[in-house]
Structure 1
Amino acid sequence: MMDLRKLQTDPERIQRYGVYTIRTATREGVVYARSFIVIRNGYGVIVRFTRLQDYAGFKTYKPITSNAEKKLYYICGMLNYVLIDHGKRFGIRHIFGITGSMLQEYFDYYAMDRKADGDYRGRDSITKCIGAVTAFMANLVWKFGGHMSVSRQDLYRDEVAHDRNGRRFYRAIPVFHVNGMPVRKRIFRDIPYKVFEILIPMAFRYSRDIAFGLCLQAFAGLRAGEVCSVRQENSPLGRGITFTEIGGRIVSAVIDVEQEIRIRDDDAEVGMIKKERRQGVYPAFLGAFCKAYELHKEFLEGRKYDERYCPMFINKNGDAMSYETYRTRFHELVNRHLRPYLIRSSDPELRLYGQLLYENQLGTHALRHWFTVQLVLRGEDIGTIQFWRGDSSPESAFEYLQNKGDLTRELEAASDRLVELLVSEWEDPDDKTV
């Protein structure tokens, strides 16, 4: 007789749903990814591909660069909970047997289960999970009808809404409701201007490979992944940055993040563009941005890189730098240079912030946060902040404006000292440190 305990613990017999993603590029170099729901054994080896990803969403048309990877993780979480972990208790073995009450139990579990860092999930994550799983089940109902144990009425209710022209229509709203724990954890991301004045020039001395990337985040609001996707001004794939000059004076600089294009031969993931666009440098920072760009071009001179792509940021092998390398280099800059410098400072405010860096990890997103704070402190409205941040919706801008009072008290607006600091205080032409 087969030992059931061995069956439950034998890695080769364990099966769980997971997501498998491959990345490739078109002949024109446009990078895109495709994700699949697969079944893996206890060793993590794929034992079977499924077609379940086909039901993650139906659209008549979608760009080749779109991918449902995030939705698939939500769906796999539900499938593992209902079919694998609790299938015996529920008395089901097939996806057709999933009911509305089972989905409700999973959503309650998802909302109350702690993440790896010990914190609870926030409202946005819970809402996206419910939306993705409900749409997935609804698509199965549409395809397989009476074979399913759940109906559309078990998943959605129709709510009357009106469009911009006042025309009435019905909007499908998931019927599920959950209670989540309040998330009190605050992300450590504030950079006082005093510290910022030290960080950027210090980066050009000790971390010149990423220093200009920090400026793209702080002066143009790019995300870290988008920074790694930027090409040089002379790239054969198209200008990564375009400068407009009038009367011998640069009046604008625009970064091309309109499309994620292949810039490495090995097709390794470099960075992801969250919102495709042409992103301008905020006018108040244009002078400092141009000086930072000059310093970065000096850094690139004499270094080898693939001239077919001309990536803006390169690793030690001359390939386009990945987001992981960029993030690691930033942490090295903070931990090896910025934090010790602040701790030794005679300024008590800088020493206090240096101590905070021992207790909290400063991430690359802090530069984009600093950029947004500067927009708020300069009196920009919600629409303007959304434009300069490159956001799809105004929610983030609204959140910053709600906290404007606190930001005004704790931080100060950037001055014109940035260019002067980049030129003089930290620049060392004989320094060979990368």
Structure 2
Amino acid sequence: MRTTKKSMSETTEKPNLRLVKDDDWKHRTRNLRFCKQKLTIIEEDGLVRDFMFIVLRNEFNKKMKVTGYSNYFIKELNSARLETLEYHAKIITRFLNYIFFDKYDEYQMKDITELKIEYGNHFLRDYAQGYVGKKKKTEMTVQKAEQVLNRFYKYLFNELEDMKYISEKDFFTKHSSTYYHRGQWKKRKKVVERVESLFTVIPPNYTPPQRVKHIPSYVFQEMLNICDIHYPHLKLALCLQAFGGLRRGEVCNVSRNNISYRMFGKDLGWFTIDLREKVQLRTDGKDVGGIKKRRIQPIHPVFLKLFQEVYDQHMKLIAHIDNPYGAIFLNRDGEAMLDSSYETFFKNIVDLVLEKLCKRGDFKSASEAKLLMSGRVGTHILRHFFTQFIAELETTRSPIEVAYWRGDGSLDSAIAYFAQHPVIDEKIKKIQEKVFDKIVF
């Protein structure tokens, strides 16, 4: 793979996206694979900036070369968050390896200008069936990959002027129709419409189990009980998700430096987490997890009484650990915990809860165990728990308010305002008592 001689920021020249043609091409490239490579830059003020590249790596000697495909992230995803960059890079590298290496005997492709639309259909079919990526995919997962591939094909067509089997008409369709006007049929002008997808994807017959999206307070209570026994350092993490709607990566980004709260006497009046910027939290520079929506996220007033107790417990637990970045969720080495580690611990907690429920003989435990076994359970289930709980509150008046508490919109100013002016009326106090009765630590 030859790369453009200009820097990644220069886009005046077309990037070189061609593989070198050689008679013994297959032999020469047997150790090559396309891979994604992330570059993280930590600025002087601690802010983190991430850049994504597609490289061609020799699996034998581990040497790498940046390819012209990396320009895709500059031109198409210039302001995208890290999770989006990671996902696009994963799909594109798998696709490039598929067409150039895995299917070389069939396609004989050495040049990206020889790309055909049917190759995308083949890839998505095999991706759905699990021949690419090891396990079978849900229809929604395949649709997400299809969206990436459509965008990548369009990018290639715009970058290269000599695509052999793809033309502009593949991306647009022209429609014409006739209508009756003053005693005669007339033909309307052609209407050009954008093609929604270049591909025709047939989903696999097998559908993997869907995610479990709801757990009752009873099961959440059991999770907290398991934390008390086995994972006391994660009890606050679960509550940040269940009481504040944080995502997995956002939990791992919580530090002493982005927490704000105010006490009204002995009680917590409000509590917020500033998730507007990513900062360095580890000495090795590793990314602890993503922040999907940059915002200031409050803990819902209904949960403050319970949250205060868990927060105090956690801060006492880590009081003797001096983390230079103020991280509050730590591994055994005192470094900030990675979101992947948190996910693993969470699955262990769910397994222990399931084991506990199965050992009981009562109907309620058996039904909840069946619920947990009905699909995949991940940390995101606590965000659903939070959403459902606040949606059912008497004080919640509209879907907009639910979106506000979930941090789904551009509501940073409003969140900051309400955080500084909490309104906890008698209804909320009654609901707090109700919640406390349901979830006893």
Q: Give the shorter-chain TM-score range.
A: 0.7 to 0.9
Structure 2 equivalent of residue 180 of structure 1: 203
Check 1:144–1:356 CA distance in 2 against 1; reply closer, same or farther (3 A cut).
closer
In structure 2, the residue matched to 1:241 is 259
What is the alpha-carbon distance in structure 2 between the residues aligned to residue 11 and residue 304 of structure 1?
Answer: 52
Between Structure 1 and Structure 2, how many residues are aligned?
A: 379
What is the CA–CA distance in structure 1 between the aligned matches of 2:298 and 2:287, rounded to whole Å? 25
| One-letter identity of the residue aligned with 1:51 | G
Give me the whole-angstrom Cα distance separating, in 2, the residues matched to 1:189 and 1:329. Answer: 19
CA contact 1:280–1:388 (8 Å) conserved in 2: yes
8 Å contact from structure 1 (residues 156, 174) kept in 2? no
Aligned residue in 1 for 2:218: 194
Partner of 1:131: 147
Q: 1:106 to 1:357 in 2, by over 3 A?
A: closer
Q: For residues 325-381 of structure 1, what are the alpha-carbon distances to aligned partners after superposition, in whole Å with 9 as ceiling and x for unaligned?
A: 323333344445x34543444643124535766787643222222212223433754
Q: 1:29, CA displacement in angstroms? A: 1.3
User: Are positions 1:259 and 2:277 aligned together?
Assistant: yes
Contact 2:48 2:280 survives alignment (8 Å): yes
CA contact (8 A) 2:126 2:132 kept: no
The yes-or-no answer on 1:348 pairing with 2:363 is: yes
1:144 Cα deviation from its structure 2 partner: 2.5
Q: CA deviation at 1:257?
A: 1.4
Query: Paired residue for 2:342?
Result: 326
Task: Report the CA distance between 1:193 and its aligned residue.
Answer: 1.8
Larger deviation, residues 190-199 vs 104-113: 104-113
Q: Report whether the alignment pairs 1:141 with 2:157.
A: yes
Q: Which of 358, 367, 372 pairs up with 2:382?
A: 367
Change in 2 beyond 3 A, CA 1:252/1:218:
same
**Superposed counterparts of 1:179-328, under 5 Å:** 179-181=202-204, 183=207, 185-232=209-256, 235=257, 240-245=258-263, 250-301=268-319, 303-306=320-323, 308-328=324-344
User: What are the ranges of 5 or more consecutive residues in structure 2 without an aligned counterpart?
Assistant: 1-23, 176-191, 411-430
* Match in the other structure for 2:415: none
- Residues 257, 170 of structure 1: alpha-carbon distance in 2 compared, 3 angstrom cutoff: farther
Deviations 1:385-409 (A, max 9, x none): 333223369xxxxxxxxxxxxxxxx
Instruction: Give me the TM-score of the superposition, normalised by structure 1.
Output: 0.74
Give the % identical residues. Answer: 24
1:234-267 deviations in Å (ceiling 9; x for gaps) = x3xxxx2222456775442211111211011111
- 1:153 alignment partner, one of 166, 169, 175: 169
Using the TM superposition, give the Cα deviation of residue 174 of structure 1 relative to its aligned residue in structure 2, in angstroms. Answer: 3.3
- Partner SS state of residue 196, structure 2: strand
Q: How far did residue 282 of structure 1 move? A: 1.9
Post-superposition CA distance 1:44-75 (Å, at most 9, x none): 93443312121246259637968622112222
The two structures have a TM-score, normalised by structure 2, of 0.73
* 8 A Cα contact 2:171 2:195, kept in partner: no
Deviation at 1:114, TM superposition (A): 5.9
Does the CA-based 8 Å contact 2:81-2:292 persist in structure 1?
Answer: no
Q: Call closer, same or farther: CA 1:82–1:304 in 2, change over 3 Å.
A: same
When the two chains are superposed, the root-mean-square deviation of aligned CA atoms in Å is 3.6
Distance change in 2, residues 1:355/1:130 (3 Å): closer
Alignment of 1:50-89 (within 5 A): 50-56=67-73, 58=75, 62=79, 68-89=85-106
Aligned to 1:18: 35
Maintained 8 Å contact 1:331/1:362: yes
Unaligned runs of 5+ in 1: 1-5, 160-168, 394-413, 427-434
Checking the alignment, whether the CA contact within 8 Å between 2:209 and 2:374 is kept in structure 1 is no
Kept in 2: contact 1:107–1:130 (CA 8 A): yes
Contact kept, 8 Å, 1:12 with 1:42, in 2: the verdict is: no
Give distance in 2, aligned partners of 1:23 and 1:41. 22
Which has the higher mean CA deviation after the structures are superposed, 179-188 or 292-301? 179-188
The amino acid across from 1:370 in the alignment is: F
Instruction: Check conservation: 1:20, 1:38, Cα contact below 8 A.
Output: yes
- Assess if the C-alpha contact under 8 Å between 1:201 and 1:421 holds in 2: no
Distance across 1 between alignment mates of 2:342 and 2:202: 38
Aligned residue in 1 for 2:119: 102
Distance in 1, matches of 2:128 and 2:344, equals: 31
